[in-house]
């Protein structure tokens, strides 16, 4: 951020004019973290432990490895399916809860309760129900993702400005039309906030399910490679997960700004 209030006393650096001081600080800090990591691992840890230089060297090999690509595809497909199920069911339940007091009062305790349960705890149950299959992973993903979508959509549907509905009602609009034309668009930003949380949780759900049931995917790739002491390869998997997490955040943030510029709201954390 280059602002005109920057004091003149600051010593001019070589990168001045190219990169702002803030960005310089960030880059220096990032390099410092990497250097520290490298040095600590070199000094104290066994050779197999991941360090920045060896991880970077492992990247070109890993990203063309068919096992890795297959694992990535598996995990992402499962996450996409789980999110699709969660979006459809979650929106329907969320809208019903937001617009009907009766539904809200009957379901609220269950939804809040399930949301507070650490999702990892369902693993033994889903593995009993579905066996050690990808069905167990899908069920874990849905359980991880659906509740934040329901809660946020319900919040959104509840907070529709009353005047909009009153105007629509005075023009004798039907309930379904009101739902589609007023309630849904105005709860969209809340839904997106919920989706953002849900996507992160879906990814975690997929990874823990793969750890638990040993079905193929990025989580299992990480588990397997770290067990055979190929930490560098395994760490590329972690980088991929982090990239997907951050990437989805950025995508949702961007589309909120781009398509719903009228909306501003404090983010709701988990």
Partner 1 sequence: MLSSLRKHAPVTLSLLAGAALWEIAGRNSDPAFLVPLSETLVRLYQLVGTHEFLVQFLDSATLFVTGVSLGILVGMPLGLLFARVRIIRVAVDPYIMTLYATPMVALIPFILSMMGFGFTPKVLVVFLFSVFPVLYNTVEGARSIKPELIEVARSYRSSERALWREVMVPYTLPYTMTGVRQAIARGLVGMVAAEFFLSATGLGQLIMNASQNFDTSGVFAMILLIGVIGVALMRFGLYIEQRFARWRI
Q: Give the footprint of partner 1 on this chain (CB under 8 A).
A: 21-22, 25-26, 28-30, 33, 45-46, 49-50, 102, 105-110, 112-114, 116-125, 127-129, 200, 203-204, 207-208, 211-212, 219, 222-223, 226-227, 229, 231, 234-235, 237-238, 241-242, 245-246, 249, 269-270
* CB of 135 vs partner 1, minimal distance in Å: 14
Please give the Cα distance from 136 to 150 (Å, whole number): 21
| CB closer to partner 1, 64 vs 269 | 269
End-to-end CA distance of the chain: 30
| CB closer to partner 1, 186 vs 224 | 224
Please give the Cα distance from 128 to 125 (Å, whole number): 5
| CB closer to partner 1, 176 vs 269 | 269
Question: Tokens in use for 132?
Answer: 């050690």
| CB closer to partner 1, 28 vs 63 | 28
* CB of 145 vs partner 1, minimal distance in Å: 13
* CB of 219 vs partner 1, minimal distance in Å: 7
Secondary structure string (H, E, C) spanning the chain: CCCCCCCCCCCCCCCCCCCCHHHHHHHHHHHHHHHHHHHHHHHHCCCCCCCHHHHHHHHHHHCCCHHHHHHHHHHHHHHHHHHHHHHHHHHHHHHHHHHCHHHHHHHHHHHHHHHHCCHHHHHHHHHHHHCCCHHHHHHHHHHHHHHHHHHHHHHHHHCCCHHHHHHHHHCCCCHHHHHHHHHHHHHHHHHHHHHHHHHHHHHHHHHHHHHHHCCCCHHHHHHHHHHCCCHHHHHHHHHHHHHHHHHHHHHHHHHHHHHCCCCCCCCCCC
* CB of 45 vs partner 1, minimal distance in Å: 7
* CB of 262 vs partner 1, minimal distance in Å: 24
* CB of 69 vs partner 1, minimal distance in Å: 18
* CB of 140 vs partner 1, minimal distance in Å: 12
| CB closer to partner 1, 165 vs 245 | 245
| CB closer to partner 1, 149 vs 234 | 234
| CB closer to partner 1, 25 vs 63 | 25
């Amino acid at each position: 951020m280059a602002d005109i209030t920057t004091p003149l006393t600051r010593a001019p650096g070589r990168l001045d004019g190219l990169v702002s001081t803030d960005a310089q600080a960030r880059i220096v800090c990032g390099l410092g973290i990497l250097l520290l990591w490298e040095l600590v691992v070199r000094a104290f840890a066994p050779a197999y432990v991941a360090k920045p230089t060896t991880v970077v060297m492992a990247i070109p090999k890993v990203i063309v490895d068919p096992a890795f690509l297959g694992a990535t595809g598996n995990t992402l497909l499962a996450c996409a399916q789980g999110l699709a199920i969660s979006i459809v069911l979650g929106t329907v339940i969320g809208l019903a809860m937001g617009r009907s007091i009766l539904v809200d009062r009957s379901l609220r305790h269950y939804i809040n309760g399930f949301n507070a349960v650490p999702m990892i705890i369902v693993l033994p149950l889903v593995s009993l129900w579905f066996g050690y299959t990808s069905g167990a992973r899908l069920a874990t993903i849905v359980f991880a993702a659906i509740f934040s979508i329901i809660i946020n959509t319900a919040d959104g549907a509840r907070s529709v400005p009353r005047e909009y509905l009153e105007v629509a009602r005075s023009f004798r609009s039907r309930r379904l039309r009101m739902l589609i034309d007023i309630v849904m668009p105005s709860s969209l930003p809340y839904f997106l906030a919920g989706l953002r949380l849900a996507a992160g949780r879906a990814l975690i759900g997929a990874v823990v399910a793969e750890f638990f049931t040993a079905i193929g995917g990025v989580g299992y790739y990480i588990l397997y490679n770290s067990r055979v002491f190929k930490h560098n390869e395994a760490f590329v998997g972690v980088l991929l997960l982090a990239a997907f997490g951050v990437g989805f955040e950025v995508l949702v943030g961007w589309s909120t700004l781009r398509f719903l510029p009228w909306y501003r709201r404090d983010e709701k954390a988990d």
